[in-house]
Amino acid sequence: MPTTTKKRLRKFLIWKYKHVSEPQFVYILSILAGFLAGMGTVVLKNLTHYIRLLFEYETFKNHHHALYFIFPIIGLLLVYIIKQTWLKKHIGHGISSTLHAISKLNGIIPRYNIYASLITAPLTAGFGGSVGLQGPAVSVGSALGSNAARLFHMSSKTRLLLIGCAATGAMASMFKAPIAAIVFAVEIFSLDIAFTSLVPLLLASVSAVLTSYMFLGTDVLLRFELTDKFEIKDIGFYVLLGLVTAIASVYFSKVFFAITNFFKQFESRAVRLIIGGLAIGTMLYFIPPLYGEGYGLMNNLLKGDHLAAIGRTPFDLDLSNIWIVIALLIGISIFKAIAMTTTFGAGGVGGVFIPTLVMGSALGNAFAKIINNIGLGFHVSESNFTLIGMTGLMAGVLHAPLTAIFLIAEITSGYELFVPLMLVSAISFSFTKYFISHSIYTLKLAERGELMTHDKDQNVLMVLDIDKVIETNFITLKPEMKLGDILNNAVAKSSRNHFPVVNDEHEFLGVIRLDDVRHIMFNSDLYETVTAESLMHADAGIIDYDADNMNTIMEKFKTSGAWNLPVIKKGKYFGYISKSKLLTAYRQQLIKFTK
Distance from C-alpha of 3 to C-alpha of 5, rounded to nearest angstrom: 5
- Of the candidates 96, 446, 437, 431, the residue with the CA atom closest to the CA atom of residue 249: 431
Q: Identify the CA nearest to 423 among candidates 439, 404, 399, 436.
A: 404
Exposed, middle or buried by CB within 10 Å (0-12, 13-18, 19+), for 316? exposed
Out of 261-265, 355-359, 446-450, 524-528, least confident range: 446-450
Over residues 470-493, mean pLDDT: 85
pLDDT, tens only, 42-86:
999 889 888 887 766 655 555 556 677 888 888 899 999 988 888
Mean pLDDT of the chain, nearest integer: 83
Compute the average pLDDT of residues 185-190: 78
Confirm if 586 and 468 have CB atoms less than 8 A apart.
no
CA atoms of 346 and 168, how far apart (whole Å): 29
Q: Higher pLDDT residue, 316 or 557?
A: 557
Q: Residues 413-445: pLDDT tens digits?
A: 657 788 899 999 999 999 998 898 877 777 666
From residue 50, alpha-carbon distances to 53, 55, 62, 136, 305 in Å are 5, 10, 20, 17, 26
How far, in Å, CA of 162 to CA of 576, rounded? 36
566 contacts 508 by C-beta, under 8 angstroms: yes
- The maximal CA–CA distance of the chain, rounded, in angstroms, is 103
End-to-end CA distance of the chain: 32
- pLDDT at residue 536 above 80? yes
- The pLDDT confidence band at residue 594, using thresholds 50, 70 and 90, is low
The C-alpha atoms of residue 335 and residue 130 are separated, in whole angstroms, by: 10
Q: Is pLDDT at 303 greater than 90 in this prediction?
A: no
Domains of the chain, earliest start first: 15-216 (1.10.3080.10), 232-451 (1.10.3080.10), 464-594 (3.10.580.10)
Q: What is the pLDDT of residues 99-125, one digit of tens each?
A: 777 776 777 888 888 888 888 999 998
pTM of the predicted structure, to 2 decimals = 0.78
pLDDT value, residue 458:
58
For residue 368, pLDDT over 90 is answered with yes
Give per-residue burial for 6-33: e unless 16+ CB within 10 Å, then b: eeeeeeeeeebeeeeeeeebbbebbbbb
